[in-house]
Amino acid sequence: MMKPMNTAFIPDQTAGLSRRQMLRRSTQAVAGLALASIYGPLLAAPEGRRFKIGACDWSLGKRGDPAAFEVAKAIGLDGVQVSLGTAADDMRLRKAEVQEQYRAAARQAGLDIASLAIGELNEVPYKSDPRTVAWVSDSVGVCTALGVRVVLLAFFGKGDLRDDPAGVDEVVRRLKAVAPKAEKAGVVLGIESWLSAGQHLEILERVGSKAVQVYYDVCNSNDRGYDIYREIRLLGDRICELHAKENGALLGQGKVDFARVRAALEDIQYRGWVQIEGAVPPGKPLVESHQANCQYLRGVLGA
Beta-bridged to residue 216, according to DSSP, are 242
Mean pLDDT of the chain: 88
Tell me the whole-structure pTM to 2 decimals. Answer: 0.84
Quickly list H helices, the chain: 19-39, 68-75, 96-109, 131-146, 165-185, 197-207, 218-223, 228-235, 258-267, 286-301
Q: Percent of the chain at pLDDT above 90?
A: 83
Q: 212-227 pLDDT, tens per residue?
A: 999 999 999 999 999 9
Q: For 257-288, how does the pLDDT look when each residue is reduced to its tens digit (9 = 90+)?
A: 999 999 999 999 999 999 999 999 999 999 99
pLDDT computed for residue 62 by the predictor: 98
User: Which pLDDT tens digit goes with each residue over 48-87?
Assistant: 558 999 999 999 999 999 999 999 999 999 999 999 999 9
Count CB neighbours of 94 within 10 A.
Answer: 18
Per residue in 66-75, pLDDT (tens digit) is: 999 999 999 9
Domains recognised in the chain with CATH numbers:
44-301 (3.20.20.150)
